[in-house]
Amino acid sequence: MGEHIGFIGLGRMGSAMAGRLLDAGHTLTVFDVSEPAVAAFVARGAARAASPKEVADAAEVVIASLPSPAIVQETALGASGAIHGAMVRTFIDVSTTGPAVAGILAKALGEKGIVSLDAPVSGGVKGAREGTVAVMVGGPKASFDALSPILSVIGKLFYMGEAPGSGQTMKLVNNLLSLTAIAITAEGMAMGQKAGLDPKLMIDVLNVSTGSNSATRDKWPRSVLPRSFDYGFATGLSLKDVRLCLEEAEAMGVPMVVGSGVRQLLSITYQLYGPDSDFTEMAKVVEGWAGLDPKPAG
């Protein structure tokens, strides 16, 4: 028999993860600011809550998948936040919020007897649907062990350590490397194309050479070469993640020379194409600077 789980945040990633929990036989009580998102889950048998507190009144385990650190903090600790729920015993944040917010949540929730786990995920919407995302967990080991059967429905588990924010730190490092791969691939590809090389052939060569990376293997074939720019992750969220990473690194005394360049390119992409543009549109920015014809392929 499944557990009763509260789920807050039914966006693209959240709805995919919540859907897997339903399919695995768990009972859900859900909340989102989008009524259509909630209605879709109610139609599948989930119970509706009117606030994060109501979710935490109904379930001992509450999972949050939300777009920004400020929203996560308000959802957990605000006036109608999960911290005020009568049933909640564990709050799991699968968002990318950074270790500082993870520490704030752990302290405030802990004072109310609620365990906080930071468990950000990586692998995109497709990975969330298929349950193949990496789940990077920080927090008490005993709680991680107890909740592993639930979290393993979402993806592949990696226990990063007891310290609050351990999972968040790992996620920020991952996202920095992922975004850097897009940025540097955009520059290399623009150079080759301006010299007259065929972009598809370039990708074929890179993917059997030492320049291979996540952007050449996946993002260019899927979203850049076809000119669809629809990989599925927003420029605004990407910029948020790399800013968080650089802020944390600066506080720790870790220089991020390359990361600073990636943040700047993302910021320019944000200004040119907007927060809801796809992060692969970084390639269009570099192509434009290089004077390449931006017309669609084919």
Ordered structural domains, the chain, with CATH: 4-163 (3.40.50.720), 169-290 (1.10.1040.10)
Q: Which amino acid is at 221?
A: P
User: In angstroms, what CA-CA distances link 235 with 153, 184, 231, 242, 278?
Assistant: 28, 16, 11, 11, 5
Q: Is the pLDDT of residue 297 over 70?
A: no
Burial class (CB within 10 angstroms; exposed 0-12, middle 13-18, buried 19+) of 256: middle
Of 77, 61, 80, which Cα lies nearest the Cα of 119?
61
Catalytic residue among 53, 171, 219, 284: 171
Across the chain, mean pLDDT equals 96
Report, as an integer, the average pLDDT of 221-233. Answer: 96
Q: Is the pLDDT of residue 195 over 70?
A: yes
Report, as an integer, the average pLDDT of 264-278. Answer: 98
Q: At what angle do helices 12-23 and 35-42 cross, to 10 degrees?
A: 10
How much is the pLDDT for 5? 98
How much is the pLDDT for 1? 60
How much is the pLDDT for 93? 98
DSSP alpha helices (H): ranges in the chain?
A: 12-23, 35-42, 52-58, 69-77, 99-111, 124-130, 141-154, 166-194, 199-206, 214, 235-252, 257-273, 282-290
Q: How confident is the model at residue 53 (pLDDT cuts 50, 70, 90)?
A: very high
Q: How confident is the model at residue 92 (pLDDT cuts 50, 70, 90)?
A: very high
Residue 210 contacts residue 228 (beta carbons within 8 Å)? no
Q: pTM of this prediction?
A: 0.92
How much is the pLDDT for 298? 43
Q: How confident is the model at residue 295 (pLDDT cuts 50, 70, 90)?
A: low
Report, as an integer, the average pLDDT of 45-53. Answer: 97
Report, as an integer, the average pLDDT of 135-145. Answer: 98
112 is catalytic: no
Q: Is the pLDDT of residue 255 over 60?
A: yes
Report, as an integer, the average pLDDT of 67-96. Answer: 97
How much is the pLDDT for 293? 78
